Structure 1
Amino acid sequence: MAKKKTVYEKLCELASNLWWSWQPDVTQIFHLIDPDKWSELNHNPVLLLKEYSPEQLDDKLSSLSLHSRVNVAYRRWLEYMDRSDTWGSTNATILGHRCAAYFSAEFGIHESLHIYSGGLGVLAGDHLKSSSDLGLPLVAIGLFYGEGYFSQHIDKAGWQQESYTEAKTENLPIIPAYTPEGKPVMISVSTRSGEIFAKVWRINVGRVPLYLLDTDVPENSQEDRNLTARLYGGDQRTRIRQEIMLGIGGVKALEAIGIEPSVIHMNEGHSAFAPLERVRNRMHEDGFSFDDALREVAASCVFTTHTPVPAGHDRFDAALLEEHVGPLGDQLGLDHHALMSLGRVDPQNEGETFCMTVLAFKLSRLANAVSSLHGVVSRRMWASLWPWRSEEEIPIGHITNGVHMPTWLAAPMRVIYDRVLPTKWYYKTGQADVWSGIEEITPGDLWETHQALKNRLIHFSRDLLVKQAKRRGSSETEIGHLKTALNPDALLIGFARRFAPYKRADLVMKDMETFLKIIEDADRPVQFIFAGKAHPADERGKQIIQRIFKLTQEPPFRGKIVLLEDYDINLGRHLVQGVDVWLNNPRRPLEASGTSGQKVVLNGGLNCSILDGWWAEAFDGSNGFAIGEGRTHVNQEIQDDRDGLNLMKVLKEEVIPLYYDRNYDDLPLEWIARMKNGIRTLGWRFNADRMVMDYAEKMYLPAAGGLSSQIKGDSSL
């Protein structure tokens, strides 16, 4: 008879699987155990439980009457893990035999796991969570960054400063990966300058195992031990060494674990060496020629491109490629020219560098962009790879990004959803008809719930502002002002994302005279929250941060414009759940998709955005606001001037009047109608469940079944 588990053991098991991170009732248990510690430890349940002995925790749970809640949560988790009647078990049965493998350079799953920098990683994390919820047979491959991405602090001059903190694996829900024989997995990748070794870790994301390669092992030189220390750190040599570990090493890791996937999904070009290692395997094991092996492997590979910005595509010179991929080229029977040609648009152009995106396109038979407009841009951008086709026939389709609803939906909003949506609606969030009940929400309920979330955001922001000011050595007077920053009754606009120049965080300040007028309007006040990091090497992005910071210090804007440091998943969660309006004004068409605004929609916030990325196919005139008419100008300065004018126009003539148009009960009924329309029309479409189902049906199943070569010319996906 099996020994009965203690409540302490049950909580430890719950903490070991990141399923808890999208279960509000489970996170609430950890929060209640010690609210201050929970916050201080960055919501890490592994660390929280280390604060108590089993006996101390049992006493704590008893005093809080939490035993039954722990038992219910544990039972729910077991049922979730064992559930067999999933979408995947009905609609993706072929993957049950041999799963899909999802390769990504970063994964944003929870703020306590620092292996992400921004949107690409958070999208990858949402992909894993929805795959788990849907029961889609999937494994994921990435790198374990011991120091993660940088923490951001703004100094007295408003300049971004970066720092790194080493993560301790014993404080994370991470375990070694094992071979079928029960040995810890260790793999190596050959380069001209020697072998690079990596151990492999496993993190459980619900039903999906995430395997992370870590080069911090004694077998490596100090340089190579540091190879996976930082995400997007170092020079080009570091980058290509990280990418051979992710691609070549990732395939070797799966093989060592005993997993032979039927599909390789490359999430951006960082992992594009993976198919080459698969080609080598087919040649070695099945006696195929290179051309035949390439044809077979490419049929089972799919590729997602994420950026229309040229600088976002990794390129390496011939010497770097030869040093790091030359040994694999030898095994493939390729000389240096043939190897380089795989990453060149023009194989005969000796002056062209090796591009990872080009390699990914050449080694996959299904490729997609991440929004409809991005599909158009990508087909134009990469048309030279298929010179015999018209632009419309370029085989790059699109699957628009979506967000994982349980992760980003605020618990109070979920209570409202539970009242008006069908029973167990959360299992069917990617279906349009499930959302029709949103119209039944009473305006007062929706508004008061939103106001409560807005107040929570404001209090959270004030606490952060005070901590930031104290760290900078600000005066007690200034700290006192920050304790009352932001007005709960004023329109609150949020802007938070990577501070890349093309995202134009300071566009709203282009006409400072008009900007000041809307800020100082006593009858219809407007306030802004800004957050975001600039890449350490992006001087222009840092200058934009500095400009905004200095504005927050000027008397007319003090307390009405705030800049919050160290944008991460936790800060993002508060922002998307509490703002009235989410501002997004990239330089069209450089926003591939964008997902932050999709998270805002779920919580009743309204988007005010350039018609770019996902918003170009989402805006219907009554579910948010559009900046301009989706036009671009060949002159960048003219486009910025025009967009700046259009932004002020929509704020003054649409957003602000609608927000302050109240009835006798102080309810902005037309605004609330737009909130409901946004949730109803967008909640199911820009949803990670719908996105993952699209990937399964349009990419994974054809690739797994060997059908992809038959639809090579399909650019509609």
Structure 2
Amino acid sequence: MAEKYNTTVHEKLSALASNFWWSWQPDITNIFRQIDPLLWSQQRHNPFKMLREYDADKLEKRISDLALHSSINRAYRAWQEYMNEEDTWGNIQGGVLQHRPVAYFSAEFGIHESFPIYSGGLGILAGDHLKSASDLGAPLIGVGLYYDEGYFIQNINKDGWQEESYPTLDKSVLPIREALGVDGKPVMINVPTRNETIHAKVWEVDVGRIKLYLLDTNVQENAEEVRDLTARLYGGDQRIRIRQEILLGIGGARALTAMGIDPRVIHMNEGHSAFAPLEFIRLRMQADGLSFDDAMREVARSGVFTTHTPVPAGHDRFDSGLVEEHVGPLADQLGLNHEGLMALGRVDPQNHSETFCMTVLAFKLSRKANAVSNLHGVVSRSMWSNLWPWRGEDEIPIGHITNGVHVPTWLAAQMRALYDRILPLDWHKHTGEPEVWSSFMEVDPAELWETHQSLKNRLIIYARSCAMQQAERRGAPKEQVAKLADILDPKFLTIGFARRFAPYKRADLVLRDFENFAKLVNSSTKPVQFIFAGKAHPRDDNGKVILQKIFKLTQEDRFRGRVLFLDNYDINLGRHLVQGVDVWLNNPRRPLEASGTSGQKVVLNGGLNCSILDGWWAEAFDGANGFAIGPGRVHSNVEIQDQRDAENLMSTLVDEVIPMYYARDKDDLPQEWIYRMKRAIRSLGWRFNADRMVMDYVTQTYIPAGGGTSSELF
């Protein structure tokens, strides 16, 4: 519950800064920005840290000078009302979950750029899931790990090679606090292995109405090696990975028990947390005297599993020795011998040479399993059909709930003002309902275009500033840095490409027909400019080579200022890109993009997608709400597929995208383009947002799993 009796300005702002609800309230972020614009920028938009620079008297004077008292009081009242509201969708629709909530386990959570414990899409999705659950009032808590060094900071050196650095987060300037157990003391849990015991402290974070609990091994009870276990996200070898995963799953479950939380549903967001149900099985055996088989059936009925990748390498597998070392003590308590434990993670329990797969374990311990797009569901049913050999492929019990994005987080303030004028009152409380968006087709074309141009100008100013800072870090001459102040032209068609630089995402596909690419960029009548961003995994040299190839292109005279690569892709950079580009380019090798969500953020802000028919776009494109690259077919030969997709990409740009953008009426408005902008928002805004996604999870998975009705399990 929110505090009710804070009275001073400093207390009110501190209370607001202590709950990440502020991060999706543009009126509140604007208050913090006005107080100290430079400090706000320097401190990664962290109001909790910024307020440390102001004592009560200094802050009061600054607030008085800016006449912000009424704005602060209004924001504080709005937060109080939000936190105490009872008539929410979740309160009405949550049913059996009200008494015992959903426990949402995820290896990463992307809440805000000031709290960098995420790497990319999976974490951003998890953060958006929590935010929409908060807005809807859905009974849910988050469980994850606290990473002292987070994911890496990316720097591109003068040779175009990615370099990684890992600065340590300062807990004292983050809105986190010690989680307290039922005894009122800070929670400390432990997970024994065969060789040692892993201890972890638990931190509590407020994300609107949702509590997020994060486990941290950097405590004095641990040896140095163990203290570093939660230092980095997705760092280290297989031994570190399994240790992080027993901490997330087994340790996370024990943390909930220590706090007196008995979840009705266990939602595993990807296989990283699949050990969690094993701990809940142990608790049922201990509390109710059940056999392992009976306890497993009971716990599995409450399990929900979301698989996120159609790439085999994306599913964690561990050898027999690692599993015995780390899960053996729990297996002893479950009454399982080693082969019995290994069988839980094998497609074929009798195949003693098969490794232990976390995804297999998650499927076996879940009542409901889903992919993250319709096409991904098809791929997943085929990929995992051997788990259900008695079923036909169409009968494999893996459904799909297509990913969505949290509208208030990704919608630009200027666009929100437009929505407020066009859509019904309180539209933001009903974004998952199609009828709420119907009036958007009535928006004035000139007003929509002007709003988009304003956001595009903001992106270009931001990109210029980033480019200059990056060039200075690389030691570029002053005259070269100065020239970057004028790169990019707001009148030119601007295409953005930003995502993880995994080879299958093919960041360099547009460069295959290099001469035609050069002609597009340097056209005297219909020029195109590209902004690239994204990180390669530290151990992915192939991805780094692709990144280097694009960076070196940006340094050539004929592309300088027309093709740009921006370092250190994070939530803040992503926000600027999705809010300002004309076109979002997405060209993965179908069907390897499970869903993707960046293009959904672009839709909300009036940008158009130009994408391979993969992931979410395969079910979103209707012929008039963006652009499709090719017909969506897959060739058995990867090289032929890449070449064919490259040709389709170039023809889509040359024959459709560019002519439509530059076709203007007497008022210099691209009417057909604007129509597609409007149609995209109208047809996609309600379908591909996180409110609809969370509502689907509640009604299609959480309530059935929480209700305990019979279902066919393993």
- TM-score surpassing 0.5? yes
How far is the alpha carbon of 1:180 from its aligned partner? 2.0
Q: 1:525 to 1:502 in 2, by over 3 A?
A: same
C-alpha separation in 2, matches of 1:478 and 1:630: 43
Cα distance in 2 between the residues matched to 1:631 and 1:436: 32
| SS of residue matched to 2:616 | helix
Q: Match for residue 43 of structure 2?
A: 41
**Secondary structure of the residue that 1:483 maps to in structure 2?**
helix
Q: Which residue of 2 aligns with 1:694?
A: 696
What CA distance in whole angstroms lies between the structure 2 residues aligned with 1:481 and 1:46? 36
Q: Give 2:302's aligned amino acid.
A: S
Give 2:644's match in structure 1, choosing from 642, 645, 658: 642
- Taking the TM superposition and a 5 Å limit, the aligned residue runs for 1:672-711 are 672-707=674-709, 709-710=710-711
Q: Indicate the residue corresponding to 1:301 in structure 2.
A: 303
What is the CA distance between 1:365 and its match in structure 2?
1.4
Does the C-alpha gap of structure 1 residues 3 and 678 become closer, same or farther in structure 2, counting only changes over 3 Å? closer
Separation of aligned partners in 2, 1:712 and 1:426: 39
Q: Measure the CA separation in 2 of the matches of 1:481 and 1:544.
A: 26
Quote the residue 1:225 is aligned against: 227
Q: Report the equivalent of 1:313.
A: 315
CA 1:634–1:3 in structure 2 vs 1: closer, same or farther (change >3 Å)? closer
Residue 653 (structure 2) aligned to one of 637, 651, 654: 651
Offset from partner CA, 1:551-592 (integer Å, 9 cap, x none): 000111000000000000000000000000000000000000
The alpha-carbon distance between structure 1 residues 551 and 48, as it changes in their structure 2 partners (threshold 3 A), is same
Question: 8 Å contact 1:215–1:226 — kept in the other structure?
Answer: yes
1:168: how far off? 1.2
**Alpha-carbon deviations, 1:261-306, whole Å to 9, x = none?**
0000000000000000011111111110010000000000000000
| Separation (CA, whole Å) in 1 of partners of 2:475 and 2:228 | 34
What per-residue deviation string (whole Å, max 9, x for no partner) do you get for residues 58-89 of structure 1?
00000000011011000000000000000001
8 Å Cα contact 1:12-1:46 kept in structure 2: yes
Q: Are 2:259 and 1:257 equivalent residues in the alignment?
A: yes
Alignment partner of 2:222: what SS? coil
Residues 142-541 of structure 1: matches in 2 within 5 Å?
142-541=144-543
Q: Which amino acid aligns with 2:395?
A: E
Letter in 1 for 2:628: A
The 3-state SS of whatever aligns with 2:229 is coil
CA contact (8 A) 2:367 2:711 kept: no
CA contact (8 A) 2:364 2:713 kept: no
User: 5 Å matches for 1:81-120?
Assistant: 81-120=83-122
Structure 2 match to 1:557 = 559
In structure 2, what is the Cα distance between the partners aligned to 1:333 and 1:393?
Answer: 33
What is the alpha-carbon distance in structure 2 between the residues aligned to residue 473 and residue 668 of structure 1?
Answer: 41
Contact 2:203 2:215 in 1 (8 A): yes
For residues 444-485 of structure 1, the C-alpha deviation after alignment (integer angstroms, 9 at most, x for no partner) is 000000000000000000000000000001012211221111
* 1:710 maps to amino acid: S
Distance 1:55 1:607 in 2: 49
Contact 2:301 2:711 in 1 (8 A): no
- Partner Cα separation in structure 2 for residue 710 and residue 360 of structure 1: 16
Given that 1:300 and 1:365 are in contact with CA atoms closer than 8 Å, whether structure 2 keeps it comes out as: yes
CA distance in 2, matches of 1:141, 1:480: 47
The answer to whether the Cα contact below 8 Å between 2:95 and 2:703 also exists between their aligned partners in 1 is no
133, 137, 140: which one pairs with 1:138? 140
SS at match of 2:230: coil
* Runs of 4 or more consecutive aligned structure 1 residues displaced over 6 Å after TM superposition: none
Q: Which residue of 1 aligns with 2:73?
A: 71
Aligned mates of 2:269, 2:487 — CA distance in 1: 40
Measure the CA separation in 2 of the matches of 1:157 and 1:518. 26
In the alignment, does 2:626 pair up with 1:624?
A: yes
Work out whether residues 370 and 400 of structure 2, in 8 Å CA contact, stay in contact via their aligned partners in 1: yes
Q: Which amino acid aligns with 1:38?
A: W
Distance in 2 between residues matched to 1:439 and 1:415, nearest whole Å: 16
TM-score (norm 2): 0.99
For residue 591 of structure 1, what is the aligned residue in structure 2? 593
Residues 395 and 712 in structure 1, CA contact (< 8 A), matched pair in contact too? no
Instruction: Name which of 28, 41, 57 aligns with 1:55.
Output: 57
1:597-612 aligned within 5 A: 597-612=599-614
Amino acid corresponding to residue 224 of structure 1 in structure 2: V
Give the Cα separation in 1 of the matches to 2:706 and 2:347. 27
CA offset at residue 710 of structure 1?
3.0
Return the alpha-carbon distance in structure 1 between the equivalents of residues 323 and 278 of structure 2.
13
3-state secondary structure, aligned to 1:266: strand
SS state of the match for residue 180, structure 2?
coil
What letter is aligned with 2:419? Y
Offset at 1:94?
1.4
| Secondary structure at 1:582 match in 2 | strand
* Displacement of 1:711: 6.8
Instruction: Render the CA deviation track for 1:681-714: whole Å, top value 9, x for unaligned.
Output: 000000100000000000000011112x33769x
Distance in 2 separating the partners of 1:26 and 1:4: 17
Q: Displacement, 1:5? A: 1.4
Q: Distance in 1 between matches of 2:303 and 2:679?
A: 38
In 1, the alpha carbon distance for the partners of 2:362 and 2:5 equals 51
- Aligned equivalents of 1:285 and 1:416: distance in 2? 56
Distance in 2, matches of 1:41 and 1:88, equals 35
- Cα distance, 1:4 vs structure 2: 5.6
Q: What's 1:667 paired with?
A: 669
Kept after mapping to 2: 8 A contact 1:100/1:264: yes
Q: How many angstroms apart in 1 are the aligned matches of 2:137 and 2:392?
A: 39
CA distance in 1 between counterparts of 2:478 and 2:246 reads 52
- TM-score norm. by structure 1 comes to 0.99
Q: For the residues of structure 1 that align with 2:711 and 2:643, how far apart are their CA atoms? A: 47
Kept in 2: contact 1:422–1:434 (CA 8 A): yes
Hey, what's the Cα distance between the residues in 2 that align with 1:362 and 1:513?
Answer: 52
Residues in 2 aligned to 1:300 and 1:72: alpha-carbon distance in whole angstroms = 41
CA contact (8 A) 1:366 1:712 kept: no
What are the Cα deviations for residues 421-447 of structure 1, in whole angstroms up to 9, with x where unaligned? 111000000000000110111000000
Give the distance between the partners of 1:594 and 1:358, measured in 2 at CA.
23
| Cα offset, 1:260, TM superposition | 0.3
**CA–CA distance in 2 between the matches of 1:322 and 1:199?**
25
The 2-side partners of 1:702 and 1:322 are apart by 34
How far apart are the structure 2 equivalents of 1:149 and 1:161? Answer: 13
Deviation at 1:520, TM superposition (A): 1.0
Q: Secondary structure at the match of 1:613?
A: coil
The alignment covers a number of residue pairs equal to: 711
Cα–Cα, structure 1 residues 712 and 598, in superposed 2: closer, same or farther, change >3 Å? farther
Counterpart of 2:564 in 1: which secondary structure? strand
Q: Classify 1:711/1:363 alpha carbon distance in 2 versus 1 (closer, same or farther; 3 Å).
A: closer
Q: Distance in 1 between matches of 2:506 and 2:525?
A: 28
CA spacing shift, 1:534–1:354, aligned 2, 3 Å: same
* Contact kept in structure 1, 2:177 and 2:205, CA below 8 Å: yes
Please give the alpha-carbon distance, in whole angstroms, between the structure 2 residues aligned to 1:365 and 1:478: 59
Residue 93 of structure 1: CA displacement? 2.5
Secondary structure of the 1:226 match is helix
The one-letter code of the counterpart of 2:566 is L
2:686 maps to amino acid: W
How large is the Cα RMSD of the aligned pairs?
A: 0.9
Distance 1:330-1:519 versus aligned 2 partners, 3 A rule: same
Corresponding residue of 1:613: 615
User: In structure 1, what is the Cα distance between the partners aligned to 2:223 and 2:316?
Assistant: 25
